[in-house]
Every structure is written in structure tokens, then in C-alpha cells.
Amino acid sequence: MIADGCKRLIENAIICWNYLYLSKLIHDTTSKSEKENLINTIKKGSVIVWQHINFQGEYDFSEENLKDSIEFRLPELLEVEIFKNGKQNI
């Protein structure tokens, strides 16, 4: 049960990261056509992927290594509206 719970926690953390990262990409894209292409690409894919995650080796979460990491500003990401009243709103 513990191993299954740990696996589920890791999977959910990866899915959360993917949602945050994709939301930031949409938010930071300024061109309407690029934003449309990005959204259409995301719609054809899945956030339940983890090929980009290295499950081997060591992870370093020291302040020195985290200073260059991606920063998510949650209030900005919550402002992203892709659909409004059932229609794509870009």
C-alpha cells in the first residue's frame, strides 16, 4: 500500500507540473496564432506523460540550483482563459 501511494503521489506531482508548465506557456505566448497552435497541440496530446522526467540519479534542490528554475506565478496562471462560454477564447 505504501509503494502504491508513493507511486500515485509521484504521478500526481508530475501531472501538476505539466499543467503548470503548459499554463505558463499559454500565458507567456503573445501572438494569437502561436497561442492557437499551442492550444491545438496540447488538445491533441496529454498531460499524463513523463518522458521528460529523469527517474534515475540524484536531485539537487539547493538554493543555488533553484535560482535558475522556472517560476510559476499562480495568480497570473489563474487568469488564463482558453474557453469562455464553450468557445475558444484566445
Q: What is the pLDDT of residues 6-39, one digit of tens each?
A: 999 999 999 999 999 999 999 999 888 898 899 8
Domain boundary assignment for the chain: 2-51+58-88
Residue 75 is predicted with a pLDDT of: 85
Q: What is the pLDDT of residues 30-89, one digit of tens each?
A: 888 898 899 889 989 988 888 888 888 788 888 888 777 788 888 888 887 776 665 666
Alpha carbon of 60 to those of 7, 19, 34, 83: distances in Å?
20, 23, 34, 38
C-alpha cell at 82: 482558453
Residue 85 is predicted with a pLDDT of: 60
Residue 50 is predicted with a pLDDT of: 85
- pTM, full prediction: 0.74
What is the per-residue burial (b if ≥16 Cβ within 10 Å, else e) of 57-78?
Answer: eeeeeeeeeeeeeeeeeeeeee
Give the Cβ contact number of residue 35 at 10 Å.
Answer: 19
